[in-house]
């Protein structure tokens, strides 16, 4: 795997997770403030743009790698969420999460060597 491919995998995952969280925030906001406001529309627009970026980068990667090679990298999204939760929610890392993150990381290392 080249550095460029790894970079695109990371960008594709980060944009996907960010889009999910931004869209979730927008939907929560719409429940109390409705959908006809600039906050909701701008958040949905940002979410859709990020999802589109993630989709096309994945499509570019799929032209070069097996799906069985690329798919396990999606496990990294769990690690991004854990880091984000630690920063935003000041969440402590439980033993279960730490072991899970280690297993996922080890698995991805093995897949990337294959």
Q: Which of 24, 35, 37, 45 binds other proteins (CB under 8 A)?
A: 24
Task: Point out which span in 30-38, 39-47, 89-97 binds other proteins (CB under 8 A).
Answer: 89-97
The two structure tokens encoding residue 78: 């769990």
Query: Which of 41/59 has CB closer to other proteins?
Result: 59
- Residue 67: exposure state from Cβ atoms within 10 A (0-12, 13-18, ≥19): exposed
The two structure tokens encoding residue 114: 């294959």
Return all residues near 35 (Cβ < 8 A) that are at least 6 apart: 41
Q: Is 11 in the site for other proteins (CB under 8 A)?
A: no
CB of 67 to other proteins, least distance (A): 4
Q: Is 63 in the site for other proteins (CB under 8 A)?
A: yes
Q: Which of 16, 49, 81, 90 binds other proteins (CB under 8 A)?
A: 81
Round to whole Å and give the CA distance between 50 and 88: 20
């Amino acid at each position: 795997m080249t550095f460029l491919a790894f970079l695109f995998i990371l960008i594709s995952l980060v944009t996907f997770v960010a889009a999910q969280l931004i869209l979730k925030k927008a939907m929560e906001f719409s429940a109390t403030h409705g959908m006809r406001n600039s906050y909701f529309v701008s958040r949905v627009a940002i979410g859709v743009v990020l999802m589109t970026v993630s989709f096309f980068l994945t499509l570019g990667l799929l032209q070069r790698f097996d799906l069985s090679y690329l798919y396990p990298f999606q496990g990294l999204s769990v690690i991004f969420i854990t880091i984000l939760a630690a920063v935003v929610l000041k969440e402590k890392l439980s033993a279960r999460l730490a072991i899970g993150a280690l297993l996922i990381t080890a698995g991805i290392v093995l897949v990337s060597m294959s």
